Chains A and B, each alone.
Chain A
């Protein structure tokens, strides 16, 4: 079974440009999470969805960031306009749902390394 798929794997862009990161969760998983990893702040939760509905976006740094999940197999994280401080690795993760127990494990994608010049 395929794992979480993210694209692109690497993105280099110039300040002010729009950036769109994509994620395909594991089939059958109902919860999807976006994390950001930087040297200064480590791994931070940005937003997560359950059954395509955003549950908590309190981690989204500012209005320049937006995320959507139009269907169960696709999510996007958009930054517009991008700034150099947005440079980071962005991870998408998914899990079975908001149930407890063994379903608690989140499976991570390979990440997108974003560099904003």
Chain B
């Protein structure tokens, strides 16, 4: 079974600064998908960014980018120019590229609580 580990329960960053959230995963599969979801106090799960494992290029979405290191099984999220609205729980998630069984569901890390200091 796959596992996802987020080693930082909480991170704090000054507004307008850059912060990096860490995520590592364990899998024996070669093809999979990785996601970062944001959960603000409203508890809505919002997709931030997505990465396909077969793509070497790191995904970017405006101020959000990832550093995907497949060999190291690492998938960190970088938030540039942090804004107050970025304050939330951030979850890293893994999904196998193979269908069937429980493979289609997402496996989540425990989350990182991001605090933005004004």
Does B99 touch A at the CB level, under 8 Å? yes
Does B62 touch A at the CB level, under 8 Å? no
Q: Are B102 and A105 in contact (CB under 8 A)?
A: no
Q: Which residues of B contact A89 (CB under 8 A)?
A: 43
Does A113 touch B at the CB level, under 8 Å? yes
If A91-B45, A100-B97 touch, whether A42 touches B104 (CB-CB below 8 Å) is no
Interface residue from B47, B104, B106, B107 paired with A98 (Cβ < 8 Å): B104
Interface residue from A43, A50, A105 paired with B50 (Cβ < 8 Å): A105
Chain B, range 26-58, C-beta contacts under 8 Å to A: 33, 35, 37, 42-47, 50, 52
Q: Are A45 and B106 in contact (CB under 8 A)?
A: yes
A59 and B97 CA atoms in complex are apart in Å by: 19
Chain A, range 77-117, C-beta contacts under 8 Å to B: 89, 91, 93, 98, 100-101, 104-108, 110-111, 113
Q: Is the interface of A mostly helix, strand, loop or mixed?
A: strand
Q: Which residue on B lies nearest to A95, using beta carbons? A: B104
Does A12 touch B at the CB level, under 8 Å? no
Q: Which residues of B contact A107 (CB under 8 A)?
A: 47
Does B118 touch A at the CB level, under 8 Å? no
Q: List 27 A-B contacts (CB under 8 A).
A: A33-B104, A33-B105, A35-B105, A43-B106, A43-B108, A44-B108, A45-B102, A45-B106, A48-B105, A56-B102, A56-B104, A58-B102, A59-B102, A89-B43, A91-B45, A93-B45, A98-B99, A100-B99, A104-B50, A104-B52, A104-B95, A105-B35, A106-B106, A108-B44, A110-B42, A110-B43, A110-B44
Q: Which residue on B lies nearest to A102, using beta carbons? A: B50
Q: Which residue on A lies nearest to B95, using beta carbons? A: A104
A50 and B100 CA atoms in complex are apart in Å by: 10
Chain B, range 59-106, C-beta contacts under 8 Å to A: 91, 95, 97, 99-102, 104-106
Q: Which 3 interchain pairs have the tightest Cβ spacing?
A: A45-B105, A108-B45, A43-B108
Interface residue from B35, B52, B104 paired with A48 (Cβ < 8 Å): B104
Given contacts A31-B104, A50-B104, 14 further A-B contacts (CB under 8 A): A33-B104, A35-B105, A42-B109, A43-B91, A43-B106, A45-B105, A56-B104, A58-B102, A91-B45, A100-B99, A105-B47, A105-B50, A110-B43, A111-B44
